[in-house]
Amino acid sequence: MVQEAKKEIGAKEIKTGEEKKKGKKEELVKQWRGIDVKPLNPSFEILDRYVLREKFAEVIIAAPPGKVVEPIYFVVETPLTPQEEAALEKIKDILTKELDIPKIGEEEEVRKVIHETTLKVMKKYRRAIGIPSLSDEVVQKFFYYIDRDLMGFGPLNVIMEDYKVEDISCDGLYIPIYVWHRDFESMPTNVSFNDREALDDFIIHLAHKAGKHVSSAFPIVDAMIYGKHRLAATFREEISPRGSTFTIRKFREKPFSITELILSNVLNSEMGAYFWLLLEHKASLMLIGATGSGKTTLLNALTTFIKPRMKIVTCEETAEINIPRDNWVRFVTRESYGLGATERGAVALFDLVKTSLRYRPDYLIVGEVRGEEAFVLFQAIATGHGGLTTVHAEDVESAVKRLMSPPMNIPETHISLLDAMALIQRVQLRGKAQLFGRRVRFVWEVEDAHRYRKIAEWDPVTDTFRVNFANSLQLENISIMNGVSKEDLMLELWRRKELLEWMRENKITDNDRVASIILSYYADPEKLIAEAGITVRKPPFPVARRAEAVAKPVAAQPVSGGSPQLAATGVSLEELEKEVKPIADYIVDAILRRSGPIPYWQIFVKTPYPRDVIIRAMRYLKEKKRIDIIGGVVELME
């Protein structure tokens, strides 16, 4: 009896062991267990559909019947039969054992190697894995799913490859994954997680793709996937009670060029030419807007205008900036090592911005300012470096208030160091096939913390832009610094505008090609304009106006005895002298105290008067031949 009982127990143990093995095999078969993909309901109204992978992957936007249209994003893939599904999992299991790890430098060949190895496995183990035939259609279907599962994101791969999706968000278990679609904005998908372990595994899968670690000890991940998609994720219930969550903000592999933004009407060619002139002369520019408004996209495009030989240093928390330039130093923050009291080795954005100044950059670009690094950036601008950055804000007033408040703490007197600010927003478009778009709503020039000059604005009714360069302090400033009349400078701006229009009309959108043309323009503008066959017409707007908040009428005739530059302002020398002589004397005294030439930008730092008044005083001194400005340096002529 005892022996029979032992045999029975032994048989049960063997049976239990076999069941466990079978369970393990079933788990192996279901790699993406716990991810539910619901089919399209035939009663739904199809709003849009487009193919992402011919014969294999399609996206359908549909809405359930009802008075209110509530679109849902459907992922539709070529289905696998149960036999093919089992065969696919067996192939993946064999590949993990037989596939050789690619050597350094051979990463581009990974897909080719995987396909070759997959085909060998299918031929070698065809009967064992249960493949009925090796027709081209079957092979290509297996290739699609192998690519999707081993190199992609599994059932979410279609969403990741959709060029119209900008943001993918998972809020927890049993909740549909949400996407932000270029045409339909935020909407749920037919994909959801219904198993906690599956969601946790997927978070680990994403973290590994980003080359990061995630665990209960380190439950937050902020990284880049493949160097182009931004991942933010939380692990388990450590900080998110509803379980693991993630958000993926998608970026293009190649950033938008300035020509593409002009084609998309984000800004027009006149505004592009204006930014070009500013960035050529190391102006400081801040882009403001909400999350996902397009600040980084615009910043990337504008960097093309920076002079080719200028040294650029970028500082970011997550690497998003991509500049088509060799003379570029790229810095990214680093998290600390260890836990609690043993934390060490963290490199914050503040540290990077401080370090960057030792590299003597011509242009310092900070991806986004939100803390004490802003103060260092403004110090860099005050010492003659060009500055380019972004900040989260809804308008110019709120941006300035953020800058002057903790933790940025920019002194009110330093705000005038900013030359211009641009607001970019995601807006609703009227009467257009595309319901939403991004537009540069306003461009301002900064006089001080409380006064701004509107240079350009977007008209939502006509979807066009209005510009007022006659109101520009910066163009007046560049005019004085380079010893050219405002009229000649406006003609130069218009010539660059015509070049940008020519690139737009000829669909020259590749970033490298655009950068090459701009480089050619810097080298020999006349030759490039002639080779392109561009006819530069006279600007349609008045150029002979004084740069004030309220511009004065243009003088009918030049002032006798004055220079063309002074005549262009419509103000007599006597009137100018009466207005700015005390400020002019202060500037001369500052130069004398220095006992030598002084950099042009230091005049604005050392003179406690509004920027527009300083510019008029400098023009007066130049007309009186008391100073000369050569190569950005001011020296006395007396």
Render pLDDT for 543-562 as a digit per residue (tens, 0 to 9): 444 433 333 333 333 333 44
Rounded to the nearest 10°, the torsion over CA 321, 324, 325, 330 is 20
Q: Are 235 and 203 in contact (CB under 8 A)?
A: yes
Q: Are 180 and 249 in contact (CB under 8 A)?
A: no
For residues 27 and 29, give the distance between their C-alpha atoms in angstroms, rounded to a whole number: 5
pLDDT, tens only, 286-334? 999 998 899 999 999 999 999 988 999 999 988 889 898 889 999 999 8
Q: Which two tokens stand for residue 603?
A: 């005049």
Q: Are 471 and 488 in contact (CB under 8 A)?
A: no
What pLDDT is attached to residue 612?
Answer: 81
DSSP β-bridge partners for residue 36: 192
What pLDDT is attached to residue 591?
Answer: 85
What pLDDT is attached to residue 26?
Answer: 45
CA distances (Å), 334 to each of 249, 316, 492, in order?
A: 20, 10, 43
What pLDDT is attached to residue 108?
Answer: 59
Q: Quick one: how far is CA 68 from the chain centroid?
A: 34
What pLDDT is attached to residue 351?
Answer: 93
Count of positions (residues) in the chain: 638
Closest CA to 241 of 173, 180, 334: 173
Model pTM?
Answer: 0.79
* Residue 344 identity: R
CA distances (Å), 201 to each of 94, 418, 595, in order?
A: 21, 47, 69
For residues 245 and 251, give the distance between their C-alpha atoms in angstroms, rounded to a whole number: 20
Q: What is the DSSP letter of 523?
A: H
Q: Are 300 and 322 in contact (CB under 8 A)?
A: yes
The backbone torsions φ and ψ at residue 69, rounded to the nearest 5 degrees and listed phi first, read -80, 115
* DSSP-assigned states of every residue in 41-87: PTTSEEEEEEEEETTTEEEEEEE-SSSS---EEEEEEPPPPHHHHHH
Low-confidence ranges of the chain (pLDDT < 70): 1-30, 100-108, 227, 337-343, 540-573, 576, 638
Q: Are 273 and 467 in contact (CB under 8 A)?
A: no
Q: Which two tokens stand for residue 297?
A: 């996209």
Domains assigned to the chain: 35-194 (3.30.450.380), 258-336+345-532 (3.40.50.300), 564-636 (1.10.10)
Burial class (CB in 10 A: 0-12, 13-18, 19+), 526: exposed
Within 99-237, where are the H helices?
110-124, 126-129, 136-146, 157-161, 196-209
Helix, coil or strand: residue 248: strand
> Mean pLDDT over all residues of the chain?
85
Regarding beta strands 363-366 and 386-392, do their DSSP bridges make them parallel or antiparallel, or are they unpaired? parallel
Closest CA to 473 of 499, 447, 440, 441: 447
Closest CA to 407 of 357, 370, 438, 352: 370
What pLDDT is attached to residue 570?
Answer: 52
For residues 628 and 89, give the distance between their C-alpha atoms in angstroms, rounded to a whole number: 77
What pLDDT is attached to residue 71?
Answer: 95
H or E stretch including 234? strand 229-234
